[in-house]
């Protein structure tokens, strides 16, 4: 009986690997070559126009892609609007997603629909837009795999526990990313997205005023940086106030984020731990000293992220409106 159970388990694992391979095989760099050959140019133009209106477009779109992929996969389910307030975007973890990210995808979808009606999924448009904001912020270009379909489910209840928290340690980060077939190196590279954008004070205030019984301020924070943050985020601060996640080059997609970690200027505990934990320190140091190495690793990690939970065929649809199921 034990031998038979082992054979069944091996066969099941083999079948799972085959299914995963099929899903990835259905994604390709030239998926729309015949149905919408100019899709990437159309999306890039819409993204560029949106960035010209507000820089927030860049971190907002990048964060939107990450939050989408980590909950039910990269299927644009985070885009759905619900009259009853129970869609993914309505969950507590997603309330801080900036509206400019949603607006970028909506406008890009409208531009694509005008030329290729019913051909391109919102999930693919979000993936392209996420790449484009990286490039337009000075990051390295990379090819995006396409062929995703839009998900058919979006529930706020499915979000909790599926997104990393600002107080996560290395083990917690690795566990969550591993669930999505992402390695520690992928995780450290994707954390580099914190080189652009901002955060509300409440997300890191515990490091400034109530860290532990022996130290009100997190000792892993550079003292001057801690004082700078206190100045921007006093204890009675307006909850709408936010600060740049990268205090040095907040508008550039570069490797300065990692240099900040080496200098103990990581905004979140989950940032600084990447350098203070000896199991990840070498990778952080490597990225801090090699922008090209970081760029390559980030591009590879984004491609891997874009494969998470991909839906094809009858498992999804191509929405006419990214905010509503067909």
Q: Bridge partners of 146? A: 28
Per-residue pLDDT, 240 = 87
Run means of pLDDT, 10 residues per run, the chain, 326 residues: 48 46 69 98 98 97 98 98 96 95 98 98 98 97 98 97 97 98 98 96 94 95 97 92 96 98 98 98 98 98 98 94 98
CB 111 within 8 A of CB 46: yes
- Give the phi and the psi of residue 179 in degrees, each rounded to 5: -60, -25
24 is catalytic: no
Give the closest residue to 155 by CA, choosing from 209, 97, 88: 88
Return the pLDDT at 23.
45
Please, what are the domains in the chain?
38-158 (1.10.520.10), 170-304 (1.10.420.10)
pTM above 0.85, yes or no: yes
pLDDT of 105 reads 98
Alpha helices in 54-145 (DSSP H): 57-69, 99-115, 122-136
What is the C-alpha to C-alpha distance for residues 296 and 99, in angstroms, rounded to an integer?
Answer: 29
For residue 15, what pLDDT is reported?
46
Q: Which of 24, 67, 200, 264 is catalytic?
A: 67
Pairing of strands 242-244, 198-200: antiparallel
Integer Cα distance of 129 and 110 in angstroms: 13
Cα–Cα distance, 168 to 173 (Å, whole number): 6
**Beta bridge partner(s), residue 175:** none
The pLDDT value given to residue 2? 47
List helix spans (H) across 180-262. 184-191, 206-209, 223-232, 256-262
Residues belonging to the binding site for substrate are: 164
List residues forming the annotated binding site for Ca(2+): 68, 71, 73, 75, 77, 88, 195, 246, 249, 254
């Amino acid at each position: 009986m034990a031998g038979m159970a082992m054979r069944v388990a091996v066969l099941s694992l083999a079948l799972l690997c085959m299914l995963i391979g099929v899903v990835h095989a259905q994604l390709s760099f030239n998926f729309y070559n015949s149905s919408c050959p100019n899709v990437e140019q159309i999306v890039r133009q819409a993204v560029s126009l949106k960035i010209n209106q507000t820089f927030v477009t860049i971190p907002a779109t990048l964060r939107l892609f990450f939050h989408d992929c980590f909950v039910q996969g990269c299927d644009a389910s985070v885009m759905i609007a619900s009259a009853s307030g129970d869609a993914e975007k309505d969950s507590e973890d997603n309330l801080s997603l900036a509206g400019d990210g949603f607006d970028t995808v909506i406008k890009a979808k409208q531009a694509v629909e005008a030329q290729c009606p019913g051909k391109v999924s919102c999930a693919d448009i979000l993936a392209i837009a996420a790449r484009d904001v990286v490039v337009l912020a000075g990051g390295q270009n990379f090819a995006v795999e396409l062929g995703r379909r839009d998900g058919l489910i979006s529930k706020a209840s499915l979000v909790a526990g599926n997104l990393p928290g600002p107080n996560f340690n290395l083990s917690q980060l690795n566990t969550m990313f591993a669930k999505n077939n992402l390695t520690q190196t992928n995780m450290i590279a994707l954390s580099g997205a914190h080189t652009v954008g901002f955060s509300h004070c409440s997300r890191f205030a515990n490091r400034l005023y109530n860290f532990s019984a022996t130290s009100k301020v997190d000792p892993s924070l550079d003292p001057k940086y801690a004082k700078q943050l206190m100045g921007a985020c006093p204890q009675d601060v307006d909850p709408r106030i936010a600060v740049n996640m990268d205090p040095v080059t907040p508008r550039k997609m570069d490797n300065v984020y990692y240099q900040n970690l080496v200098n103990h200027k990581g905004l979140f505990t989950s940032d600084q731990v990447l350098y203070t934990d000896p199991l990840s320190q070498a990778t952080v140091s490597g990225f801090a000293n090699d922008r090209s190495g970081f760029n390559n690793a980030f591009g590879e990690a984004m491609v891997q992220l874009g494969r998470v939970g991909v839906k094809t065929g009858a498992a999804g649809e191509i929405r006419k409106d990214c905010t509503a199921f067909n």
